[in-house]
């Protein structure tokens, strides 16, 4: 997890809104990737979707203010796995951000290599009206043996999923 914006290389600089855009229309270039739980693939997605912030995982308690503060002016991606429990945590994360007046733009469902249970698929389908996109990121077997997710060659299916995330965030991503 990267340090809070006031302390790191991605420090939140005073953002000047470009001429011709309202404050609501303007977003910073970096994505914020927040895990619905630990082990959701947050750091891996943040590595693949540079420039981005790894906001770590949602805490088990009820204090989700960190990503809402960091995500101001940025696209917020909630990462989860394709399990029933993880889909419930993603629902909790989206609700927590919404309750704080924020907006979770994308839910990225990172595959664990197993088929997605129907209950998880239903829960994720219920999230679709609340976010701009729910995107499934296929399993990458090479990650199991890698120290650095950025060094793993990505299959075309994964590149397409990353391109969908980038497009939903209003960014381009070359395949």
* Average pLDDT, 10 consecutive residues per value, the chain (175 residues): 34 47 56 94 96 90 65 90 96 88 92 96 97 97 94 96 94 68
3-state secondary structure 73-108: CCEEEEEEECCHHHHHHHHHHHHHHHHCCCCEEEEE
According to the model, what pLDDT value does residue 138 have?
98
According to the model, what pLDDT value does residue 46 have?
96
31-168 is a CATH 3.40.50.1000 domain? no
Domain boundaries, the chain: 31-168
Model's pTM, two decimal places? 0.81
């Amino acid at each position: 997890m990267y340090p809070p914006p006031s302390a790191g290389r991605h420090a939140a600089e005073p953002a000047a809104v470009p001429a011709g855009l309202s404050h609501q229309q303007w977003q910073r270039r970096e994505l914020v990737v927040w895990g619905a739980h630990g082990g959701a693939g947050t750091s891996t997605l943040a590595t693949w979707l540079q420039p981005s912030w790894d906001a770590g995982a949602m805490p088990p308690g009820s204090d989700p203010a960190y990503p809402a503060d960091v995500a101001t002016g940025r696209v917020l991606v909630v990462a989860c796995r394709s399990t029933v429990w993880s889909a419930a945590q993603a629902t909790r994360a989206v609700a927590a951000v919404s309750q704080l007046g924020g907006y979770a733009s994308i839910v990225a469902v990172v595959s664990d290599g197993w088929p997605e249970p129907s209950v998880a698929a239903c829960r994720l389908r219920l999230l679709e009206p609340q976010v701009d996109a729910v995107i499934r990121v296929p399993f990458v077997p090479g990650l199991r043996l890698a120290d650095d997710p950025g060094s793993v060659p990505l299959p075309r299916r994964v590149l397409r999923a990353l391109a969908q995330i980038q497009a939903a965030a209003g960014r381009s991503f070359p395949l």
